[in-house]
C-alpha cells in the first residue's frame, strides 16, 4: 500500500473515533486487534508504515468496509467515481486530438506544428 499522508491521517482519525466510540483505550483495542499498541498509535496518528497483516487486523476489528478505505484513499471518491472522472478526461483528450487532426487535414493547422 503506497504511503499517502492525507489518506493515513483521515483513516487514523476515523479509527480513533471508532475506538473511542467503543469505549476502548488504545491498549485495549490493540490487544483485541492482535497488534502492539505502538502500531495502533502510529495508525491513529496517520504515520503509516504499517504492514498489510496488521492493517488487515485493524480493518477487521473495527469493521472498516473496503469501500470506505477506497473513499479515503481517493480523497472522498470511490473507485467507480474516480474511474468515471478519468474516463471523461480521456474522452475530452480524444476529442481534442480528433479536432486537431481534422484541422491538420483541412489545412487549418500548419503542418509543421507537432501533434
Model confidence at 2: pLDDT above 50: no
Distance between CA atoms of residues 92 and 41, nearest Å? 44
Question: Could you report the per-residue pLDDT of 7-41, keeping only the tens digit for each?
Answer: 778 888 889 999 999 999 999 999 999 999 999 99
Q: 8 and 46 in contact (C-beta within 8 Å)? A: yes
Q: Mean of the per-residue pLDDT values for the chain?
A: 80
Domains belonging to the chain, first-starting first, are 1-76 (1.10.260.40), 79-115 (no CATH)
Distance between CA atoms of residues 97 and 94, nearest Å? 5
More confident residue, 31 or 55: 31
Distance between CA atoms of residues 115 and 54, nearest Å? 49
Q: So what's the pLDDT on residue 82?
A: 61
Question: Could you report the per-residue pLDDT of 41-54, keeping only the tens digit for each?
Answer: 988 998 877 788 98
Amino acid at each position: 500500500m503506497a504511503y499517502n499522508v492525507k489518506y493515513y491521517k483521515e483513516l487514523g482519525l476515523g479509527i480513533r473515533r471508532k475506538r473511542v466510540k467503543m469505549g476502548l483505550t488504545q491498549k485495549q483495542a490493540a490487544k483485541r486487534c492482535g497488534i502492539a499498541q505502538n502500531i495502533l498509535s502510529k495508525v491513529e496518528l496517520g504515520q503509516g508504515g504499517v504492514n498489510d497483516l496488521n492493517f488487515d487486523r485493524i480493518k477487521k476489528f473495527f469493521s472498516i468496509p473496503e469501500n470506505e478505505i477506497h473513499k479515503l484513499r481517493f480523497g472522498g471518491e470511490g473507485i467507480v467515481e474516480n474511474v468515471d472522472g478519468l474516463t471523461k478526461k480521456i474522452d475530452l483528450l480524444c476529442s481534442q486530438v480528433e479536432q486537431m487532426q481534422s484541422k491538420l487535414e483541412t489545412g487549418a493547422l500548419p503542418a509543421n506544428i507537432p501533434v
